[in-house]
Amino acid sequence: MRFRHAVAATLGALTLVLTMPTSAGAAVGAFSYQYDDMSRERITVELIDPPSGPCITLPEVADDFVPPAHTPRNATDGPATVYSGAGCTGRQFTLRAHTGHGSERLEVRSVIFH
């Protein structure tokens, strides 16, 4: 009798775990980058809880005729791969979770969160 209760409790717990809502594929935390606007003022932008998986082209620097963003900082709970081109093309560099960062020389136009 106890074995059946243990099996039922285990199956019930497993069902509960499998049906619990998840974070909908978001990297929890903030990702920031900087860019220089047309008047050469340095602007810092933060992406809060960005979606994991899809390529995100940074809108301020999407076009090739503007200088790319730089100085990315990854404070999300997962790694982020930054790309030198829009649409996650060009040179790439992966930033660690929580502490990953790049210098002012690292050109960024798009990013994917893993």
For the domain that residue 58 is a member of, what is the CATH number?
A: 2.60.20.10
Over the stretch 54-69, which tens digit does the pLDDT of each residue have?
A: 999 999 999 999 999 9
Residue 4 lies in a domain: no
Residue 7 lies in a domain: no
How many structural domains is the chain composed of? 1
pTM of the model as a whole: 0.77
Specify the DSSP element, H or E, that contains 9.
Answer: helix 2-19
87's tokens: 């649409």
Residue 74 lies in a domain: yes
Over the stretch 74-93, which tens digit does the pLDDT of each residue have?
A: 999 999 999 999 999 999 99
Structural domain of residue 56, as residue ranges?
30-113
Residue-wise burial string across 58-96, b where 16 or more C-beta atoms lie within 10 A, e elsewhere: bebbeeeeeebbbbbbbbbebbbbbbbbbebeeeeeebe
